Amino acid sequence: EIGITKPKGHKVSFHYNSRVEDMHFGKTHPMKPWRLTLTKHLVLGYGLHYAMDTHEAVSAGKDQVRAFHDPDYVDFLAQVSPQTFASLCEVPRFAQHIPPKHENDTVDLGPFNLSTSPGADCPVFDGMSTYLFLYTGATLGATQQLTSNQTDIAINWSGGLHHAHRAEASGFCYINDIVLSILDLLRVYPRVLYIDIDVHHGDGVEEAFQRQPRVMTLSYHRYGPYDETQHKFFPGTGDLADVGLKGTVGEHFALNVPIASGINDGQYKYLFENVTGRAIEAFKPSAIVLQCGADSLGGDRLGQFNISTTQHGECVSFVKRSGLPLLILGGGGYTARNVARAWCHETALATDNTLPDSIPLDLVPRPEAFQGRAHGDGKLHPPFNKNTPVHNNQNKDVDLEYMVKK
Report the interface residues with Zn ion, using CB under 5 A. Answer: 198, 200, 293, 295, 332
Which is nearer to Ca ion, 134 or 161 (by Cβ)? 161
Q: Any idea what DSSP says for residue 150?
A: S
204 scored as a contact of ligand ZLM (CB under 6 A): no
User: How wide is the angle at C-alpha 76 spanned by C-alphas 201 and 180, nearest 5°?
Assistant: 45
# chain residues binding ligand ZLM, by CB under 6 A:
21
Shortest Å, Cβ 335 to Zn ion: 12
Task: Select from 28, 96, 148, 229 the one that contacts ligand ZLM (CB under 6 A).
Answer: 28
Give the footprint of ligand ZLM on residues 251-310 (CB under 6 A).
293, 295, 302
Part in contact with ligand ZLM (CB under 6 A); list of ranges 80-88, 117-125, 319-327, 342-350: 117-125
Interatomic CA distance for residues 114 and 99, integer angstroms: 10
* Bridge partners for 384 per DSSP: none
User: How wide is the angle at C-alpha 221 spanned by C-alphas 216 and 225, nearest 5°?
Assistant: 135
**Residue whose C-alpha is closest to residue 55's, from 124, 146, 123, 168:** 146
Task: Select from 45, 137, 141, 171 the one that contacts ligand ZLM (CB under 6 A).
Answer: 171
Interatomic CA distance for residues 97 and 8, integer angstroms: 51
Which is nearer to Ca ion, 200 or 337 (by Cβ)? 200
Who contacts 152 (Cβ-Cβ below 8 Å, separation ≥6)? Answer: 10, 11, 12, 146, 325, 326
224 scored as a contact of ligand ZLM (CB under 6 A): no
Residue 219 binds which entry of Ca ion, Zn ion, ligand ZLM, none, with Cβ cut-offs from 5 to 8 Å by kind? Ca ion
182 scored as a contact of ligand ZLM (CB under 6 A): no
69 scored as a contact of Ca ion (CB under 5 A): no
391 scored as a contact of ligand ZLM (CB under 6 A): no
Shortest Å, Cβ 157 to Ca ion: 16
Residue 29 binds which entry of Zn ion, ligand ZLM, Ca ion, none, with Cβ cut-offs from 5 to 8 Å by kind? ligand ZLM
Say whether 381 is catalytic: no
217 scored as a contact of Ca ion (CB under 5 A): no
337 scored as a contact of ligand ZLM (CB under 6 A): no
Residue 26 binds which entry of Ca ion, ligand ZLM, Zn ion, none, with Cβ cut-offs from 5 to 8 Å by kind? ligand ZLM
CA torsion angle for 329, 341, 316, 198 (degrees, to 10)?
Answer: -60
Provide, for the chain, the percentages of residues in helix, strand and coil under a 3-state DSSP scheme, each rounded to the nearest 5. 35, 15, 50
Residue 151: CA count within 13 A, CB half-sphere: 24
Helix 265-283 × helix 397-405 angle, to 10° = 0
Interatomic CA distance for residues 161 and 219, integer angstroms: 14
Helix 309-320 × helix 265-283 angle, to 10° = 20
Which is nearer to Zn ion, 200 or 312 (by Cβ)? 200
- Active-site residue among 162, 163, 201, 221? 201
Q: Any idea what DSSP says for residue 255?
A: E
Part in contact with ligand ZLM (CB under 6 A); list of ranges 116-124, 278-286, 310-318, 353-361: 116-124
Which is nearer to Zn ion, 76 or 135 (by Cβ)? 135
Cβ contact 287:192 at 8 Å? yes
Residue 177 binds which entry of ligand ZLM, Ca ion, Zn ion, none, with Cβ cut-offs from 5 to 8 Å by kind? none
Interatomic CA distance for residues 151 and 132, integer angstroms: 25
346 scored as a contact of Ca ion (CB under 5 A): no
Cβ contact 134:183 at 8 Å? no
Shortest Å, Cβ 247 to Zn ion: 30
Shortest Å, Cβ 220 to Ca ion: 5
CA distances from 83 to 59, 86, 151, 219, 260 (A): 22, 7, 41, 37, 42
Per-position x/- string for 37-76, each x denoting binding to ligand ZLM as judged by CB under 6 A, each - no binding:
----------------------------------------
Shortest Å, Cβ 105 to ligand ZLM: 9
Part in contact with Ca ion (CB under 5 A); list of ranges 191-199, 229-237, 241-249, 299-307: 191-199
Task: Select from 121, 177, 184, 198 the one that contacts Ca ion (CB under 5 A).
Answer: 198
Catalytic residues: 201
